[in-house]
Amino acid sequence: MGIIMAMKTPFTIAHLSDLHLSPAFYPERSMRFRSILSFCVEREVDHIIITGDITNQAKEEEFRHFREILIEHSLLDSSKVSVITGNHDIFGGPHFAEDVLNFPSLCRSTDYRQKLELFYHYTKETFSTAEFFSTNSLFPYLKVIGGIAVVGLNSVAEWHVLKNPIGSNGRISSGQFDCLRTLLKSRILHKKKILIAIHHHFSISELHSEATSLERVWQAIESTTLKLRKKKRLLRLFSKENVTKVLHGHVHTHGTYTKNGIEFINAGATMIPAKNSPQAFHMITVRDGNIETESVTIPSETKSRRKNIITEGHVHITGFHGILPVYPRRTHSLGRKY
């Protein structure tokens, strides 16, 4: 496999996450995704990283739909797009309130490896320039883009009756961790800025408690089932090996935070923002060895009616109103966060 050595300056990377595509139930998400991709193409964004929960229910038609949208935008290309798995790409999620009770048994019967193969089958072109470090796993993988090393991880834990009953907890397997440690120490990454792409979050403060009544039912369950296990050992490794930034999603809020001197970038609110979170994604600019992160806010119906309120330091997409269609939010689903 070859490595891309593009050195364009500045080099821009859009960081999206948690698309939760579901053409059968939420076609508006597909429209928004198309609009975001059109924006990226028009702005000549150099690369797009999507940190998991690409699909809502891990159904074959959802993976196929994602692939078709990439093809529509000429983005089914390893030099242009990098993807990793989220828990919804393996286990899906409860769609309605009545699904909650049945969901653990659905997760238990999920064939984890078969879902990973499905994920790869519909995204394989985005891996064609990646380097792999395991004979039996896609993860970790490495791409060098714009002089930056992007390391993709799979943080979706396998089902366990106690440790992962509803599939939403995260864990980097021992085999993957060993490969990652070897990779981060290797000469391949010598003096390179390293971006880690992982689905699960590292800060509990990213969680928030506001919710409607139906959401509260689900949040009560997931409050103990939304964790990245053994994250301290990952953090120590990232810190020791000078990881520059960690890109993630999973929690549907937008923002950045710092841990162990590393900036964590959460694009979880790209599609379904939690309450009090803007709908936004990130734009990462690599310029002269420096990496800057900015927010790109997607106006919601309410916000667009009351004019744009842009947080200082954030970037507003000029003319995005003309690009993005506005749809009313659905309220019957528990899928706002999960």
The span from the CA of 223 to the CA of 221, in Å, is 6
Nearest distance in Å: CB 272, Fe ion: 7
Per CB under 5 A, 250 contacts Fe ion: yes
Nearest distance in Å: CB 19, Fe ion: 9
Amino acid identity of residue 110, one-letter, is T
Nearer to Fe ion, 129 or 154 (CB): 154
Taken in order 59, 13, 261, 272, the sign of the CA dihedral is negative
Q: Which residue has the tokens 């394989």?
A: 124
Nearest distance in Å: CB 182, Fe ion: 27
Nearest distance in Å: CB 135, Fe ion: 28
- Total residues binding Fe ion (CB under 5 A): 5
Amino acid identity of residue 85, one-letter, is T
Nearer to Fe ion, 250 or 282 (CB): 250
Cβ neighbors of 300 (< 8 A, separation 6 or more) are 273, 279, 326
Nearest distance in Å: CB 82, Fe ion: 17
Amino acid identity of residue 108, one-letter, is R
Q: Which of 49, 58, 86, 194 binds Fe ion (CB under 5 A)?
A: 86
| Number of neighbouring beta carbons within 10 Å of residue 244 | 15
Per CB under 5 A, 222 contacts Fe ion: no
Q: Which of 87, 126, 219, 253 binds Fe ion (CB under 5 A)?
A: 87
Nearer to Fe ion, 86 or 165 (CB): 86
Nearest distance in Å: CB 252, Fe ion: 6
Contact criterion met (CB below 8 Å) for 136 and 125 = no
Nearer to Fe ion, 18 or 46 (CB): 18
Nearest distance in Å: CB 318, Fe ion: 28
Per CB under 5 A, 279 contacts Fe ion: no
279: left (phi over 0), alpha (psi -120 to 50) or beta: beta
- Binders of Fe ion among 4-63, rule CB under 5 A? 18, 53
> Where would I find the H helices in 82-150?
103-108, 112-123
Q: Which residue has the tokens 């089958």?
A: 121
Q: Looking at 86-94, 214-222, 236-244, 258-266, which segment touches Fe ion (CB under 5 A)? A: 86-94
Nearer to Fe ion, 70 or 267 (CB): 267
Nearer to Fe ion, 58 or 149 (CB): 58
- Which whole-number Å values give the CA distances from 80 to 16, 60, 156, in the listed order? 13, 23, 24
Token representation of residue 50: 């999507």
The span from the CA of 183 to the CA of 206, in Å, is 29
Which positions touch Fe ion (CB under 5 A)? 18, 53, 86-87, 250
